[in-house]
Amino acid sequence: EDQVTQSPEALRLQEGESSSLNCSYTVSGLRGLFWYRQDPGKGPEFLFTLYSAGEEKEKERLKATLTKKESFLHITAPKPEDSATYLCAVQMIYNQGGKLIFGQGTELSVKP
């Protein structure tokens, strides 16, 4: 069964304290892995797409990496405005469409 698991469920950091979020996946064939940010009551906001093992992408304080079994979202020197739920999702090759399977998310809280 295709599955996406994120850890930890919740993460509390002090401002400036770097850390990483994990997304492990079990799918038959990966087309792409997506990271989204979601603020309470809002729609998910696209961050990154990764396609192959070894690929890395960066945006401001965020860096996403991909291996054959998992992806990491590294947050460097976070600020309170980085507080949100971070969602990981996968899209499979055999799907005819663009269906995403989402993980449950990691709720990040950054305190000043």
Partner 1 sequence: DSGVTQTPKHLITATGQRVTLRCSPRSGDLSVYWYQQSLDQGLQFLIQYYNGEERAKGNILERFSAQQFPDLHSELNLSSLELGDSALYFCASSEQGWFTEAFFGQGTRLTVV
Residue 100 in the binding site for partner 1 (CB under 8 A): yes
Angle at 41 between CA 88 and CA 79, to 5 degrees: 65
CB of 77 to partner 1, least distance (A): 26
Counted residue by residue, the chain has a size of 112
> Which residue, 23 or 78, is less far from partner 1 as judged by CB?
23
Distance in angstroms (rounded) separating the CA atoms of residues 105 and 112: 23
Task: Measure the N-to-C terminal CA separation of the chain; round to a whole number of Å.
Answer: 41
Site residues for partner 1, 22-51, by CB under 8 A, read 31-32, 34, 36, 41-46, 49
CB of 97 to partner 1, least distance (A): 3
Distance in angstroms (rounded) separating the CA atoms of residues 33 and 71: 8
What is the size of the binding site for partner 1 (CB under 8 A)? Answer: 25
CB of 82 to partner 1, least distance (A): 19
The first and second tokens of residue 2, run together, are 């295709």
Contact positions vs partner 1 (CB under 8 A): 31-32, 34, 36, 41-46, 49, 87, 89, 91, 95-105
